[in-house]
Amino acid sequence: MATEAIMQYFIVEGAFDKFILERILPEEIVSQTKIITGNGYNIALSKARSLLVSSELPVSLIVDSNTTDRTSIEEKKDFIMQSLRQLSTPEHFHIFLAVPEIEVIFFSNREVVEELRGGKISDQQLELAHYNPKQELLKMLHTENLQKSFRKLLTPTLIEKLRKTEFVQNIIKSCRVTANAV
């Protein structure tokens, strides 16, 4: 079986981010994408910058904002934009900030989180999760290892619901635009 050619790069902060994207993005995107972990924000940004210089392929940087403060989020996005724009045109890269961290996608819709939990979630729990989603997931799932837990929990139905979240849809749409431009 021949592997498809790499059409783009995704740079993420960590192994869990890569794990989640490989499972929830459509196969036609995953098969044409090289997902690279940066082991943190600074290394991810550095790797994105290096790829923009060394490759003709589009680069998407997918990182956590680590805050819910709108001003701080805009400042971080502006900083990243300026940093990448020094090396390439904005048409060659995409920036996706997960607010405050990628685990928030599991709380973007009550139906998703209740399916994960296997029961109802209170409004207060949902509100807390928007500020610290990773910590809430760890508590809610009674685990210390989200990746291990999600190997079992990510059913096809749940994956389909996660694909409909705004964050994931934005990534999917950017990939389709990129594919049409190549």
Per-residue confidence band for 176, with pLDDT thresholds at 50, 70 and 90: confident
For 97-106, give one letter per residue: b (16+ CB within 10 A) or e: bbbbbbbbbb
pLDDT digits over 82-135, tens only? 999 999 999 999 999 999 999 999 999 899 999 999 899 999 989 999 999 999
Per-residue confidence band for 9, with pLDDT thresholds at 50, 70 and 90: very high
Mean per-residue pLDDT of the chain: 93
Per domain, the residue ranges of the chain are: 9-175
Per-residue confidence band for 179, with pLDDT thresholds at 50, 70 and 90: low
Q: Does 3 score more than 80 pLDDT? A: no
pLDDT digits over 144-159, tens only? 999 999 999 999 999 9
What residues have CB less than 8 Å from 31, skipping those under 6 apart?
3, 4
pTM: 0.92
Per-residue confidence band for 1, with pLDDT thresholds at 50, 70 and 90: very low
